[in-house]
Amino acid sequence: MRHLSPLIALALLAPAAGAQQRSQSGPIIHSTGAVYALPSPDFETARDQEYKVAFEIGSASPSPDRLNVSLNTVARYLNMHAQAGVPTDQIHAAVVVHGTAGWEMLDDDAYRERPGVENPNSELIRELVASGAQVILCGQTAAGRGIPTDRLADGVQLSLSAMTAFLVLQEEGYRVNPW
């Protein structure tokens, strides 16, 4: 009888687990960036303010054939606020890339030459740029690591440094995302 109680508890929890809400991507980024809808959160999302966030990405994906999860975070930010009813023209993102993540900003051909696989970030970079997000590569990273700046993915901007990019973005009203 003692062993029956945990089994009953598991059986009762199983339907609840199956009823878990599904995440959904879009309406800004469709390839990734799925989020959960929260119809009535206690902490309201203002729909009448500008949302301007700068994201820092300094580390490459652990595997060269996998999407950088930090880029996915940017997609989630855009989709989450749009799904919550914030007008898309009030949602802004900037991505400042440095360190080992710099290699992921290469166009498909250049990326393929280095790790020998397709760039898993290409489609998301294209969607981010098309949405109006700024994707900015630190020039010091590019120079120091030998990243060919003439072979960056379309729309990736080169800045003097990541520090400079953050300074300028903050002057433009962007807030730096803490993660």
Listed residue (163, 135, 146) closest to 100, CA to CA: 146
How many other C-beta atoms lie within 10 A of the C-beta of residue 28? Answer: 23
Which stretch of 40-44, 74-78, 85-89, 154-158 has the lowest confidence by average pLDDT? 40-44
Assigned domain for 76 exists: yes
13 domain residue, yes or no: no
CATH of the domain at 108: 3.40.1260.10
Better pLDDT: 179 or 163:
163
Residue 71 covered by a domain:
yes
Is pTM beyond 0.75 here?
A: yes
Which tens digits make up the pLDDT trace of 61-74?
A: 999 999 999 999 99
Short-list 116, 177, 127, 117, CA closest to 153: 127
Q: How confident is the model over 81-126, as pLDDT tens digits?
A: 999 999 999 999 999 999 999 999 999 999 999 989 999 999 999 9
What is d(CA 5, CA 177) in angstroms, rounded to the nearest whole number? 45
Residue 10 is assigned to a structural domain of this protein: no
Contact assessment for residue 169 and residue 96, using Cβ atoms and an 8 Å cutoff: yes
Please report whether residue 8 resides in a domain.
no
* Domain count for the chain: 1
Q: Which domain holds residue 130?
A: 50-176
Element (H, E) at 175: strand 175-176
